[in-house]
Amino acid sequence: MNSDSVLSGEPGCPEVEAVQRILDVLPASVVLLTPLRDRDGEVEDYRIEAASPVAVDVAGRTGKELVGRRVLETYPTVAGTALWSGYLDALTTGTRFESESFTYREVLPAVPAESVYSVRAARLGGRLIVSWLRLDTDDREARRLADMQRLGNLGWAGWDLVAPAATWSDQVYAIFGRDPAEGPMSLEELPRQVLPGDTAALAAAVRRLLSEGGAIDQPFRIMAGDAARYLRIVAEARTDADGTPVEVHGFFQDLTAQRDVEVALRDSERAVLLQRGMLEAERTLAARLQNALLPIPEQSLELAGLCVDVAYVPSDSGLNVGGDWYSAIELPDGSALFVVGDVAGHGLDAVATMAQLRFSAKGMAITGSPLPDVLDGLNTLLLHTAQGASGATATVVMARYQPWNHQLTWVRAGHLPPLLIRDGAARFLPLPEGGLLGASSRAGHAPAVLDLRPGDHLVLYTDGLVEEPGEDMDLGLARLAEAALRLVETESTVNLAHRLAATRQDRRDDVCVLVLNVPAEPVPGPEGDGPCEAV
């Protein structure tokens, strides 16, 4: 019968069970090994038959989790080393083996680590009893403590009040910028090293610590070179049987970096609040200017025999006032001018540009300029003013209605097409030539003519009524046509502009709508009480 079968260590083996009971009460890392031999009888590995609770392998398995595993599975790098030879010598000769201290490199996934051990091995029958003693525990703990102090920018300190004596860690010297050759400061000396504004508070905290023994957590400042350093002491006292403090221990922490971050954060918050206040003030001013320059009538207007509805609704964000605008005026010859425009951008610049365009268009139209010439003039105005130099652009649709022949002449500058609702159908008017204002000096603007009929409704609007981010514009136009036709067919046409503006539930941009309603019957005069109020 060979030794491998006799010393198999199978469950129920009395010798192994006896050894395991002994190892269960040992505080050291000890294992019982059975040699595993090849066909030639040479030892090729060892099987762990019993293990103490604190025994551990490189994979973190401990105690009885190791039982049944092979040594080269649990400590793969010992093969071929002096330690491996020592195992074999102890097993073969019966002489106890004790290694010199050696460095064992544990190769874990992406985390190699080195530790210092000494190993003892002795034969027990046909087996080996092996103990591993780790020698670098104190060194490792010291390194961990040093790393913790460095990463936390803190250092420990202790004061023996009886001797008296003091001890500082290296990090405390670094925090104070103090040469270790000078030694640590006493607690009584500490308040004299801080900035004058903090001396009294720190001195009071130290007196309380030394007299009452209570814990303290006190911030203070020192000068380090040309800059102030923000520190903190956390300490407590140990007292004797009479309650007299005999020892103080605690730590210092450098909070300068954290405070710099806090100061930067506060400065940033103040800057944000200031900027927010400035933006709010600008928004309020722009809104007031817009309300003054662009009054919205509460009721429908009667102009040149037409009933005119106007609606303006700001965006849901309310952060900036836009450059949407309209005009609806009667001209000296009895015709009427209708304009809807949209200046790119928001805020005071947009409102100022809107005012320039609105009043310039009125002035040129009142003096009899043809509509294409009015748009050409507005284009030149944008290209050669301060706003134009900064890149201001605008879209405009402009119409002149002649009540004596019911003819509407209209032009556009990059604007969306008017919507005509007639005889139970809605369609967009074909677009004549007309380039964006402020984009090019070569922009041409051709007129188009439409004969209005009783019962017609013509809708002029800005893109905020139809535009959705990421959506094709045709979808928004189709929605508008469907909504306008539904409102005209199922509800009263009074205040149609307001009801169209209300169809936008989520307004990301300002909305301006102007609706020309051609009455089926004559519009009442100034004394009438119909839907349109003469002005």
Q: What span, in angstroms and rounded, lies between the C-alpha atoms of 43 and 64? A: 24
Do 295-534 and 140-254 fall under one CATH topology?
no
**Contact assessment for residue 420 and residue 456, using Cβ atoms and an 8 Å cutoff:** yes
Q: What span, in angstroms and rounded, lies between the C-alpha atoms of 297 and 311? A: 8
The helix or strand, by DSSP H or E, that contains position 141, with its residue range, turns out to be helix 137-152
Q: What span, in angstroms and rounded, lies between the C-alpha atoms of 478 and 177? A: 74
Tell me the sheet residues that pair with 376: none
The DSSP annotation for 256-284 comes to HHHHHHHHHHHHHHHHHHHHHHHHHHHHH
Token pair of 359, please?
């009043």
Token pair of 202, please?
């720190």
pLDDT, position 292 = 60
Q: What span, in angstroms and rounded, lies between the C-alpha atoms of 311 and 326? A: 9
The DSSP annotation for 197-218 comes to HHHHHHHHHHHHHHHH---EEE
Q: Domain 140-254: give its CATH code.
A: 3.30.450.20
Q: Cβ neighbours of residue 61 under 8 Å, at least 6 residues apart?
A: 69, 74
Q: What span, in angstroms and rounded, lies between the C-alpha atoms of 357 and 445? A: 16
How many Cβ atoms from other residues are within 10 Å of residue 32's Cβ? 25
Give the global pTM.
0.51
Q: What span, in angstroms and rounded, lies between the C-alpha atoms of 139 and 145? A: 10
Give the HSE-up count for residue 68: Cα atoms under 13 Å, Cβ half-sphere. 5
Tell me the pairing of strands 29-37 and 306-313. Answer: unpaired
**Contact assessment for residue 32 and residue 18, using Cβ atoms and an 8 Å cutoff:** no
Give the chain's count of helices (H) and strands (E).
13, 23
Token pair of 127, please?
């087996």
Count of residues making up the chain: 535
CA angle 211, 216, 221 (to 5 degrees): 115
Q: What span, in angstroms and rounded, lies between the C-alpha atoms of 97 and 91? A: 9
**Contact assessment for residue 310 and residue 513, using Cβ atoms and an 8 Å cutoff:** yes
Closest CA to 220 of 238, 207, 208, 234: 234
Ranges of each domain in the chain? 3-135, 140-254, 295-534
pLDDT, one tens digit per residue, over 347-360 is 777 878 888 888 89
Tell me the pairing of strands 306-313 and 300-303. Answer: antiparallel
Token pair of 460, please?
């002029």
Tell me the pairing of strands 245-254 and 154-160. Answer: antiparallel
Residue 71: what are its φ and ψ, rounded to 5°? -60, -45
CATH topology of domain 3-135: Beta-Lactamase (3.30.450)
Residue 433 DSSP one-character state: P
Residue 145 DSSP one-character state: H
CATH topology of domain 295-534: Phosphatase 2c; domain 1 (3.60.40)
Alpha carbon separation from 365 to 331, 377, 378 (Å, rounded): 8, 11, 11
Q: What span, in angstroms and rounded, lies between the C-alpha atoms of 431 and 436? A: 13
pLDDT, position 531 = 44
Kindly give the parts of the chain with pLDDT less than 70: 1-12, 58-60, 104-115, 135-152, 279, 281-294, 316-321, 386-391, 492, 507, 521-535
Name the burial class of residue 439, with classes exposed (0-12), middle (13-18) and buried (19+) by CB atoms within 10 angstroms of its CB: middle
